[in-house]
Amino acid sequence: MSSLQRTPTFDLTAATQLLQRHYGREGTLSPLPSERDQNYAVDCDGERFVLKIANAAEDPSFIAAQNEAIVRAATRPALRAGPQLIDAIDGNDTVAVDGSDGSCHRVRLMRFVPGIAMAQLQAPNSALWQQLGRWLGQLDDALTGLDAPVLHRPFPWRLEEGLEVVQRYAPLIADAEHRRDVQELVRRADVATAASRATLRRGAIHNDANDHNVIVTPGSDADDPEIVGVIDFGDMVVSWVVAEVAIAAAYAMLSAPEPLDALAGIVSGFDETYPLRRDELDAVYGLACLRLGVSAAMAAQQRTQRPDDPYLEISQGPIAATVPKLLQRPMALGRQVALDAASGGWEPSESRSTAWVAAQRRRQTGKSLSVGYRRPLHLQRGFMQYLYDTEGRRYLDAYNNVPHVGHCHPRVVDAAVSQQRRLNTNTRYLYDALPRYTERLVATLPSSLQVCFILNSATEANELALRLARTMTGQRDTIVLDAAYHGHTTSLIDISPYKHGGPGGQGAPSWVSVAALPDLFRGQHRAADPQAAARYAASVGECLDTIAAAGRGPAAFIAETCPSVGGQIVLPPGYLPDVYRRVRAAGGVCIADEVQTGFGRLGDCTYAFQEHGVTPDIVVLGKPIGNGHPLAAVVTTLEIADAFANGMEFFSTFGGNPVSCEVGLAVLDVLRDEALADSAVRVGSTLRLGLQALSQHDAGLADVRGRGLFLGAELVRDRESLRPDAARAAAVSNAMRDAGVLIGVDGPDHNVLKIRPPMQFDDHDAEHLLDVLHDALAAHPTA
């Protein structure tokens, strides 16, 4: 006989008599909905109770276990407002009564938990999620040691069985896209929790703190509801304790604008009252995702039996809406959020309106500060190759090379935080971090480059590079490439034609000579010319001649090894050796600005100059070196460094501080341990081949260039005139932004699509970028 056939059938009169006989109470009864049992609300002497008549199929030992849980919880002052049992006249918390068919039903009377279901709240907030976490932590602490064979019964809602349940029933999910999403989320959850599942602590848990079982009171201040209690112990099991947190989080995530805020709130509250271990924090987000998968799969299964039951659908709409959002949040991000939440390092996402931020910025930070895209991004969080805006939308970042090893990489963040907690000072004192870092940094470079100056920005580093060159040579004249950019200070604007030759610029000063940009696509000498490299080098020769004719000598030649704002240019082979020879012969030093290309971005070399068979006299490093932390370096020869030590002290207040050094070390560690340069070779070649394929079908996409994860694609109006198509480049990058993929536009003619993602960018991301680019190009054809 199924349990539904053993549902109690006590009418109002019978239930009223039962109440009188066993509890000695008179009251007004009204039926409450229940599928398996019979429940009556009882109003009696100004108090409200629930009379629960259990299904005859219910195992008495399970009712006893639930009762014990309720009694244990009620011993905790903070949980006292939750469910409480009222003893019958005979002193027992449960009485056995016979139904009309002779079957035996267990009856209990409980205090009614007053309030509304959390599911009814318009906008639950972090404070409430934390309270719920605290409540559940205290409950599970009270349940420690509670055990009974029935709590080990096979039960599809026990998360240990979750994977099997999803494997069996998810195929019944009718909507194909939702089915695939659920299966993919659970697959990822399985992988993400595999390492920790074996060690998770086990214990008796409520196992169903979904927002319909969490009772809150709107309290005195309607905006400030409080948790009153968690009802319905009917799913209680012995399971992973952290499943309690995961289950509550799973349902809370459904109503949170940013699902991870709900997870963080519940984890941090639970951890306060029931400290979670590392393995539990590692697993909790994956388990929350698994629970949503179980819910979707079970609903699909139950729907085959009860197609018209509206209760089955109660969570399914929100789950269908949330699963795609969760698929956009890597498991590693969820794990990190849980870890941060438990260590107090999580701030819930609360943002001012985008309009307010934009307006204040315009007013208070000056009009010359620009913002990207037609519809600017209002960002809230970054993780690896992803950025998230204030609406929880995810963007694939294919543009930012500063977060080199990934936005907010946990190892880099931890390195900064833990050193910041210990000591942060300056180079006037001895501390280990500086030589530990310089030793590692120098080891990445050719052996002649052995002295480091650690600074805060590439601008500061390029300034120092100029000073080094001037002190070494006793000269000031500097040769730069056309369209170059080296930084924003006065002298660096002077050596940056991109700035001094552009709007608001005042041209090159007399000590700066501008050599032709060796652009083989649209420059003076093109790819078809086998002498192009030599001809471009001769342009530097002309600059040297002009300097000599004025009776002076060169201090330096400075160039990016792959000019970036110049349009992601790849210098022709042979060019740099020729130039370096000429410059050195004239007494100048050669500076490589590797700010864009350093640290393995090109994949098969750590620094771009290595591909040209030259060793600069000075190398300037910035941007990726600190993954977003203000860090930069100049590395030079002993000879140049010694010449610089002319009596004037060198000191940069923040340069080389221990926090920066630890950050720099962590970046090098991650690059090595995650083999990110190798991945740049592979992913970069996928991207490049994909771009070349697009270029074959799109006459406007006329040139694809670059290496590793440093790529450019140039848009022209036609391939004969090579007239730049800046309008199309802007339209394509904006369309891609709207589709959730970020690239940039650069080059002197603003027509080069610039692709320079964090090094975590993977094959799947590359395919996605190519799809989105394909659509954007099709939507914005050459005019």
* Secondary structure of 433-483 as H, E, C letters: HHHHHHHHHHHCCCCCCCEEEEECCHHHHHHHHHHHHHHHHCCCEEEEECC
Identified binder of ligand PMP from the candidate list 137, 622, 655, 664, rule CB under 6 A: 622
State the nearest-atom distance from the C-beta of 402 to ligand PMP, in Å. 8
Choice between 56 and 621, CB closer to ligand PMP? 621
Choice between 282 and 594, CB closer to ligand PMP? 594
Q: Is 607 in the site for ligand PMP (CB under 6 A)?
A: no
Choice between 169 and 485, CB closer to ligand PMP? 485
State the nearest-atom distance from the C-beta of 310 to ligand PMP, in Å. 58
Choice between 593 and 749, CB closer to ligand PMP? 593
Choice between 513 and 596, CB closer to ligand PMP? 596
Separation between Cα atoms, residue 96 and residue 316, nearest integer Å:
37
Q: Which stretch binds ligand PMP (CB under 6 A): 140-148, 452-460, 573-581, 641-649?
A: 452-460
Instruction: Give the residue among 594, 649, 585 at the shortest CA–CA distance from 622.
Output: 594
Choice between 488 and 697, CB closer to ligand PMP? 488
Instruction: Give the residue among 500, 498, 499 at the shortest CA–CA distance from 482.
Output: 498
Q: Count other Cβ atoms within 10 Å, centred on residue 147.
A: 15
- Total binding residues toward ligand PMP, as defined by CB under 6 A: 14
Q: Is 569 in the site for ligand PMP (CB under 6 A)?
A: no
Instruction: Give the residue among 330, 440, 327 at the shortest CA–CA distance from 381.
Output: 330
- The strand pairing partners of 395, in sequence order, are 387
Q: Is 459 in the site for ligand PMP (CB under 6 A)?
A: yes
Q: Is 744 in the site for ligand PMP (CB under 6 A)?
A: no
Within 580-709, strands assigned E span: 589-593, 618-621, 632-636, 701-707
Residues 32-61 within binding reach of ligand PMP (CB under 6 A): none
x/- contact string, 467-506, with ligand PMP (CB under 6 A)?
------------------xxx-------------------
State the nearest-atom distance from the C-beta of 611 to ligand PMP, in Å. 17
Instruction: Give the residue among 633, 587, 327 at the shortest CA–CA distance from 470.
Output: 587
Q: How many residues does the chain have?
A: 783
State the nearest-atom distance from the C-beta of 265 to ligand PMP, in Å. 37
Angle between helices 331-342 and 410-422 (to 10 degrees): 20
DSSP structure string for 684-722:
HHHHHHHHHHHHHH-TTEEEEEEETTEEEEEEBS-TTT-
Q: Is 458 in the site for ligand PMP (CB under 6 A)?
A: yes
x/- contact string, 220-259, with ligand PMP (CB under 6 A)?
----------------------------------------
DSSP structure string for 541-584:
HHHHHHHHHTT--EEEEEEESS-STTTS--PPTTHHHHHHHHHH
Choice between 477 and 593, CB closer to ligand PMP? 593
Residues 506-565 within binding reach of ligand PMP (CB under 6 A): 560, 564
Choice between 539 and 561, CB closer to ligand PMP? 561
Q: Which stretch binds ligand PMP (CB under 6 A): 25-33, 591-599, 673-681, 718-726?
A: 591-599
Identified binder of ligand PMP from the candidate list 132, 245, 595, 715, rule CB under 6 A: 595
Task: Measure the CA angle with vertex 771, ends 766 and 772; round to 5°.
Answer: 100
Q: Is 427 helix (H, G, I), strand (E, B) or coil?
A: coil
Identified binder of ligand PMP from the candidate list 55, 131, 301, 457, rule CB under 6 A: 457
Residue 200: both structure tokens together: 């998770």
Residue pair 742/777 in contact (Cβ under 8 Å)? The answer is: no
Longest dimension (CA), the chain: 117
Q: Is 462 in the site for ligand PMP (CB under 6 A)?
A: yes
Residue 400: both structure tokens together: 């930012």
Choice between 487 and 658, CB closer to ligand PMP? 487
Choice between 593 and 714, CB closer to ligand PMP? 593
Choice between 52 and 629, CB closer to ligand PMP? 629
Q: Is 400 in the site for ligand PMP (CB under 6 A)?
A: no
Instruction: Please give the helix or strand (H or E) that residue 65 lies within, else none.
Output: helix 60-74
- List residues near ligand PMP by CB under 6 A: 457-459, 462, 485-487, 560, 564, 593, 595-596, 622-623
